[in-house]
Amino acid sequence: MTIDWHKATDAELLAACHTQEEPFAVFYRRHERLIAGWLMRRSGRADVVGDLIAEVFAAAYIAAPRFRPGPQPAQAWLLGIARNKLLDSLRRERVDASARQRLQIDAIRLSQESTIVLQELGELDPLQLLSELPTDQREAISARVIEDLDYDELAARLSISPQVARKRVSRGLSSLRRRLQHEGADR
Amino acid sequence: MTLLPEVESAILDAVRRDHRRRARSRTSKLRSVPLRAPLIALALLLGTTTIALAASGVILTGAPVSVRAHLEPTVGYGIPTPGKSRLLPLRAPDPAGGLPWGMRVVHTTRGYLCVQIGRVDHGQLGELGIDGAFHDDGRFHALPVDAFPKDVSLEQGFNIECNQEAQTTFAGEIVGLQPNAASNARTGSPANRREISFGLLGPKAIRIAYHSGSQTHTGKLLRGLGAYLIVQRATSDRQPGSISIGFTFGNATLPARPNGALTAIGYRYGTKTCTDTGQEEILRACGLPEGPPPKPAPLPASHEPLRVHLSVRHHVVTAAVVSFRAPYPVTSARESYILEAHACHGGDAIQGSKRNLAKAATVRIAIGLALSRGCSGPMRFTAKYRRGLDGINDFTSLGAVTVHIPPGDRAKPLPSRPPRSRWMRERLREARRSGAHR
């Protein structure tokens, strides 16, 4: 029986990616735009973002068996990796290469076309996308992803239970991803 | 459909390679089927033994940490000088218990002094197979003496810090090392990160104080070297992976200052004792000379003709080298030849030699990066000989050359990852210190 991995959840893809090749390919394509746009908007440097994206996904592939499905969506997990990699790279004044070295991935040389795509992605205004979300999801995502609050802090701020906080962030990130993919299709 | 085909292909090729490697590993396991039952029994026995031994404070030993091969004794940092590495008799407990932490000093063939941090078992420095390191085998893996671990870049430095021997006093800090002390430190949970303050403060240091939470404690200091080691849980506001070094010159005109967890360092100079809390004018408080150190006697003048070789391919300068005869030898990292030029947007573009050279040998320094950073038009390079004397750099000018890129050709674009290594930062720092000689 052939599995249609495009219909699989992120957690299913991550769980299967060390035993089959296709799940991680699907996972990569599903989140490439989110990570590329996030890194581009924060670094503003198309010349290093190619290496950073590769580093983030290489780290995600290595860590995939440790991903535990739960209320926190895989996008938040992946964005957490991206944030750590970016901070680390800024601190060291060079793109972190630990995961790429482990998987023997060489430095990425982007074509001019890819560089233009990245620059366009960097111009997407995430706040505008955020503002299109329902208020409860917008507040939850802003506090969790931008302010980096943990779920207990987030729950205390919004006067809700940590479970509800997780659910709001999860729903909001799913909506954001759909919108980002939609914007990509329009381009 | 992918946005960035280059990235996708690099990632998916790597995943494919990893799957092939896993498949080979599975095949080799199947080939050993007749041995599987006894091996499983042995593994179970060892597992039980490990748990029992761990509970009794004993830990099994695994394979030593892999070491770096192909290092040359006369290039870059050199190699550890045989017989000169020493595990200091200084132990710091881990906040979660288990094997204590220790530090080893390693002298290299090019005059660097490195400090290596790890866990200590039976007088050996090593790493632990926990939190994702060494496949979580729960064992102690010794860091071989007189060798550098394979997974650590000396330039990036994580559980190892190298400075030139002339700058032997420093107060450093590593934030982010895991309890496993692994050289490839991207393992383990962020919540387990350790904040490690360590240093060599020299023979004049007599006491230290450090903060732990809101409290201040007095720390142990190994007399002579003035070595100290403090291991604490990293607080959430500290960034992982950072390392900061407040080192100083070897002539004691500028002693190391408190850094990391240290809040104060006490020194004794003759009969005078003084405390540096990082706030006061420590030189005055300690009665140390405040002016610049005396300049060394200049070297005999030497003017060397500089030759330029440019390789041009498809109108792009693919390689550029300046060469000249070495009027003075380079015997360690304390000496080197450098080329200085003004970069396009201010600052200096500095390229240097990183290897030992005999007198009259040919010095070759690549200037491709400097050309890429320069403005269009001719670029003037000045060759200098640098020698470190008691931590103070002295420069002797040798000559200058102006490099013209042929009309219609252009410098190679800057690489996507700026190759600004610690070595390069050291050169920049040296250039700033040498401001007076220009």
Q: What is the ipTM of this complex?
A: 0.72
Please report which confidence band the pLDDT of residue B1 belongs to, taking 50, 70 and 90 as the band edges.
Answer: low
Task: Using CB atoms within 10 Å of the CB of residue A165, give its burial: 0 to 12 exposed, 13 to 18 middle, 19+ buried.
Answer: buried
User: Given a cut of 70, is residue B235 above it in pLDDT?
Assistant: yes
User: Given a cut of 80, is residue B151 above it in pLDDT?
Assistant: no
Q: Look at A61 and B19 and tell me if their CB atoms are within 8 Å.
A: no
Which pLDDT belongs to residue B172?
79
User: Which of the pair, B146 or B27, is modelled with greater confidence?
Assistant: B146
Please report which confidence band the pLDDT of residue B45 belongs to, taking 50, 70 and 90 as the band edges.
Answer: very low
pLDDT in tens, A43-56: 878 878 889 999 99
Mutant choice from A28, A30, A100 vs B, greatest count of B C-beta within 10 A = A28
Highest-confidence segment of A115-124, B127-136, B212-221, B355-364: B355-364
pLDDT in tens, B3-26: 788 888 889 989 988 888 888 776
Nearest residue of chain A to residue B242 (CA atoms): A91
Q: How far apart are CA B31 and CA B379, in angstroms?
A: 64
User: Which of the pair, B165 or A23, is modelled with greater confidence?
Assistant: A23
- Residues paired with B340 in a beta bridge: B350, B382
- Residues paired with B211 in a beta bridge: B216
Which pLDDT belongs to residue B246?
60
Q: Which amino acid would we find at residue B236?
A: S
Strand order in the sheet with B170-177: B227-233, B194-200, B170-177, B242-247
Which pLDDT belongs to residue B398?
92
Buried b (16+ CB within 10 A) or exposed e, B108-133: bbbbbbbbbbbbbbeebbbbbbbebb
Please state the pTM of the whole predicted model. 0.56
What CA–CA distances, in Å, run from B279 to A1, A47, B213, B259, B283? 71, 41, 20, 12, 12
Q: Which of A50, A95, A100 sits opposite B6 (nearest CB)?
A: A50
Average pLDDT, chain B: 76
User: Which of the pair, A37 or B186, is modelled with greater confidence?
Assistant: A37
Pairing of strands B316-325, B410-411: parallel
User: Given a cut of 50, is residue A100 above it in pLDDT?
Assistant: yes
DSSP letter string, B83-110: T--EEEEEEE--TT-SSPEEEEEEEBTT
Q: Provide the 8-state DSSP code for A159.
A: T
* Tally of CB atoms within 10 A around B381: 25
Q: How far is B415 from chain A (nearest CA, A)?
A: 8
- Residues paired with B231 in a beta bridge: B196
Q: Look at B4 and A36 and tell me if their CB atoms are within 8 Å.
A: yes
pLDDT in tens, B101-119: 999 999 999 888 888 999 9
Closest CA to B126 of B197, B86, B181, B195: B181
Q: Look at A94 and B417 and tell me if their CB atoms are within 8 Å.
A: yes
Q: How far apart are CA A166 and CA A72, in angstroms?
A: 6
Nearest residue of chain A to residue B2 (CA atoms): A29
Q: Decide if B248 contacts B255 (C-beta within 8 A).
A: yes
Highest-confidence segment of A52-61, A157-166, B130-139, B339-348: A52-61
Please report which confidence band the pLDDT of residue B237 belongs to, taking 50, 70 and 90 as the band edges.
Answer: low
Which pLDDT belongs to residue B97?
87
Q: How far apart are CA B393 and CA B385, in angstroms?
A: 10
Average pLDDT, chain A: 79
CA R_g for chain A:
17
Task: Using CB atoms within 10 Å of the CB of residue B408, give its burial: 0 to 12 exposed, 13 to 18 middle, 19+ buried.
Answer: exposed
CB of B186 within 8 Å of a chain A CB? The answer is: yes
Please report which confidence band the pLDDT of residue A37 belongs to, taking 50, 70 and 90 as the band edges.
Answer: confident
Q: Look at B6 and A59 and tell me if their CB atoms are within 8 Å.
A: no
Please report which confidence band the pLDDT of residue B209 belongs to, taking 50, 70 and 90 as the band edges.
Answer: very high
CB of A93 within 8 Å of a chain B CB? The answer is: yes
pLDDT in tens, B342-353: 766 555 566 778
Please report which confidence band the pLDDT of residue A141 belongs to, taking 50, 70 and 90 as the band edges.
Answer: confident
Q: Look at B6 and A111 and tell me if their CB atoms are within 8 Å.
A: yes
